[in-house]
C-alpha cells in the first residue's frame, strides 16, 4: 500500500496515456496498426516499415515531434487521426480511474491532466471515455511548445496553473518525465507499474509504483 499524506497535497497532475488510460491502444497503434496501414498504402513490407519507423521514432524520442500527430501525418503522408479512429474501440481507462478522480473532486483537490499527446489525440480519447468532466484543467505540452521532458514545460505549467510544486502530486508512466518533474521541484511522485494491460509489469523503478488507483484511493478516503 502506498501511503500519501493528503493533507500535504493540493494539486494532482495526471498523465493520460499509460496513466489514466490503458497504453495498449497507443502501443498497438504505433507497433502494429500504423505500420500495417502504411505498408498497404505504399505497397511495401510491414517488417521494413516497422524497422524504419522505430528508427525514426528513436531519433525523435523526447522531442515534441515524437508526440505530434500533425508531424507524423506529414512525415508519413497519412492521416494519423483517421487511422487512430479505425481502432478507437481499444481505448480504455485503467483500473479505478473514475472513482479516484471523483474522490479527488470531493476532497477539493485540483485535478489537472498534463499530457504530451496532441490535442487531436486527446479529443478522440475524451469522446470515448468521458473523463474530461472529472478534470479541472487539461494541458497538452503542445500548448507550450515544449514536452514534459523539458524544464520549460514545467515553468509554463506552474505560471499558468498557479500550483505549489511542493504540495503537488504527479503520476506518470515515464520515469524520464517523472525525473523532469522532480528536477522542477514537484514534491510527490508516483510511477505506473503496468501502463499497458497487455504488457509485462515493471519489476522495480526509481519512483514508487502503483498499478491501480485503488491503492491510493483508499488513502484519500481516510
In this structure, the answer to whether residues 125 and 16 fall within a common structural domain is yes
Which pLDDT value is given to residue 221?
Answer: 47
Looking at the DSSP bridge assignments, the partners of residue 171 are: 14, 190
Structural domain boundaries, residue 130:
6-22+92-221
pLDDT above 70: percentage of residues in the chain? 97
Give the pLDDT of residue 205. 82
Q: Is 176 left (phi over 0), alpha (psi -120 to 50) or beta?
A: alpha
Shared-domain flag, residues 29 and 96 = no
In this predicted structure, the answer to whether residue 23 has a pLDDT above a threshold of 80 is yes
Mean pLDDT of 131-147: 96
68 and 104 share a domain? Answer: no
Query: Does one domain contain both 13 and 111?
Result: yes
Domain assignment of residue 31, yes or no: yes
Our count of domains for the chain comes to 2
Grid coordinates of 218: 483508499
Spatial CA neighbour of 11 closest among 135, 175, 183:
135
| Domain co-membership, 145 together with 68 | no
**Dihedral sign, CA of 11, 15, 19, 22?**
positive
Mean pLDDT value of segment 14-18: 98
Indicate whether 34 belongs to any domain: yes
Contacts of 78 (CB under 8 A, 6+ apart): 34, 37, 38, 41, 72
Q: Inform me whether the pLDDT recorded for 48 exceeds 90.
A: no
Q: Is 161 helix (H, G, I), strand (E, B) or coil?
A: helix
Whole-model pTM over 0.75: yes
SS3 state of residue 154? helix
70 and 110, same domain (yes or no): no
What tens digit of pLDDT does each residue of 120-133 get?
A: 999 999 999 999 99
We report the CATH number of the domain holding residue 133 as: 3.40.50.1000
Task: Let me know whether 71 and 17 are in one domain.
Answer: no
8 Å CB contact between 168 and 8: no
Helix (H, G, I), strand (E, B) or coil at 192: strand
> Do 211 and 151 share a structural domain?
yes
Same-domain check for residues 139 and 172: yes
Alpha helices, H only, 2-140? 24-28, 34-42, 46-60, 69-76, 80-86, 97-106, 119-129
* Separation CA 139–CA 45 (nearest Å): 38
Examine the domain organization and report whether 41 and 97 are in the same domain.
Answer: no
DSSP letter assigned to residue 158 = H
Mean pLDDT of the chain: 93
Amino acid at each position: 500500500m502506498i501511503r500519501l499524506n493528503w493533507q500535504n497535497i493540493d494539486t494532482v497532475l495526471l498523465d493520460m496515456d499509460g496513466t489514466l488510460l490503458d497504453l495498449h491502444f497507443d502501443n498497438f497503434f504505433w507497433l502494429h496498426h500504423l505500420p500495417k496501414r502504411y505498408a498497404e498504402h505504399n505497397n511495401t513490407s510491414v517488417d521494413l516499415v516497422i524497422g524504419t519507423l522505430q528508427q525514426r521514432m528513436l531519433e525523435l524520442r523526447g522531442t515534441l515531434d515524437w508526440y505530434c500527430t500533425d508531424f507524423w501525418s506529414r512525415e508519413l503522408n497519412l492521416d494519423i487521426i483517421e487511422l487512430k479512429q479505425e481502432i478507437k474501440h481499444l481505448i480504455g481507462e485503467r483500473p479505478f480511474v473514475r472513482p479516484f478522480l471523483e474522490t479527488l473532486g470531493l476532497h477539493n483537490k485540483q485535478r489537472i491532466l498534463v499530457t504530451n499527446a496532441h490535442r487531436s489525440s486527446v479529443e478522440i480519447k475524451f469522446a470515448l471515455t468521458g473523463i474530461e468532466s472529472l478534470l479541472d484543467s487539461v494541458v497538452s505540452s503542445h500548448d507550450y511548445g515544449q514536452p514534459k521532458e523539458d524544464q520549460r514545460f514545467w515553468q509554463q505549467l506552474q505560471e499558468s496553473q498557479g500550483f505549489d510544486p511542493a504540495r503537488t502530486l504527479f503520476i506518470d508512466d515515464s520515469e524520464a518525465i517523472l525525473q523532469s518533474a522532480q528536477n522542477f521541484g514537484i514534491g510527490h511522485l508516483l510511477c505506473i507499474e503496468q501502463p499497458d494491460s497487455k504488457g509485462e509489469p515493471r519489476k522495480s523503478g526509481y519512483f514508487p509504483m502503483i498499478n491501480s488507483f485503488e491503492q491510493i484511493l483508499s488513502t484519500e478516503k481516510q
